[in-house]
Amino acid sequence: MSMTISEACTGCTACVKVCPVNAISGVRKGRHVIDASRCIECGACGRVCPANAVYDDKNKLVERRMPRATWAKPVFDLTHCISCEACGQKCPTQCIGFSKGDPGGLNVWPSLVEPAKCVSCGYCAFYCPMDCITIVTPTAKGEGDTV
């Protein structure tokens, strides 16, 4: 299944630029289409769409959410982290980086080094073997709602 673009599309190409897997094609000012075999259902296209033209696999409108700072992001609870690096390995936008934990040791701790690149796909949380990652929408107070 994948996201779909409705007739409301104005061909602004905002979605093409944000798609992390190059699944969207189309000409400027023409209706765009999403390649279902490439789409990872992150919904980034819908969140940037000014025409409210993107629907998810349950045919529900993906609401525009700008600026990108308000998008859901992974929050790392490092208490149980085992430094397997699965989150970074599987991140389609390479926005997760690792810093050496203890000097001389093997441990590296993940963090969101490039939050501007994160598309809230949730691959990091899916592959985390220790359930250390939750995808949280930031709120105005600086706290978060778990998605």
Partner 1 sequence: MKTIIGESKRYLEIDLTSKTWTEFSPPDEDLHDYIGGKGLGLKLIHDRLGARLAEVDPLGPNNILAFMMGVFIGTGAPCSARFAGVTKSPLTGIMVSSSCGGSFGMACKTAGWDGVLVKGKAAVPTVVKLDEFGVLFEDAGDLWGMETGSAQAKLVDNPRKGALVIGPAGENGVLYSVIRSGGRYLGRGGMGTVMGAKNLKAIVATGMSYTIVPAKPEKFKLVNAKAKKMINRNEFVQAYRAYGTNFGVNSGVDTGYAPVRNFRDRTDERCRNLSGEAMVERYHTTHASCAPCTVLCGHKGTYPDGIKRHIPEYETIGLWGGNLMNFDPDIIGVWNDRLNELGIDTISCGATVGWAMEAAEKGLRPSALEFGKTENITALLDDIAYRRGEGVDLALGTKRLAQKYGGLDFAAQVKGLEMAAYDPRAGWGQGLNYAIANRGGCHLNAYPIAMEAIFKFIPQYSKLSKVSWVAFMEDLFSATNSTQTCQFTIFGYILEPPVAKYTPKPLLKLAMTYLPDVAQLVLDWSALSSLVAAITGRNLGMRGFLKCGRRTHVLERHMNVLCGVTSADDTLPGRFLNESQTKHKDLSVVPIGPMVQAYYRKKGYDEHGVPRPQLLRKLHITP
Query: Under the rule (CB under 8 A), what is the footprint of partner 1?
Result: 1, 21, 37-38, 40-41, 57, 82-86, 89-90, 92, 98, 106, 108, 123, 127-131
Task: Give whichever of 68 and 90 is closer to partner 1, judged by the CB atom.
Answer: 90
Q: Cβ of residue 59: shortest distance to partner 1, in angstroms?
A: 14
At closest approach, how far in Å is the CB of 42 from partner 1?
Answer: 10
Buried b / exposed e across 7-45, counting CB within 10 Å, b at 16+? eebebbebbbebbbeebbebeeeeebebeeeebbbbbbb
Q: How far is the CB of 139 from partner 1 (least distance, A)?
A: 26
Q: In angstroms, what is the minimal distance from the CB of 15 to partner 1?
A: 17
**Residue 66 or 130: which CB sits closer to partner 1?**
130
Strands (E), 9-95: 24-25, 33-34, 54-55, 73-76
Q: Whose Cβ is closer to partner 1: residue 53's or residue 86's? A: 86
**Residue with smaller CB distance to partner 1, 8 or 36:** 36
Is the distance from CB of 42 to CB of 34 less than 8 angstroms? no
What size, in residues, is the chain?
147
Q: Supply angle C-alpha 147, 84, 103, rounded to 5.
A: 115
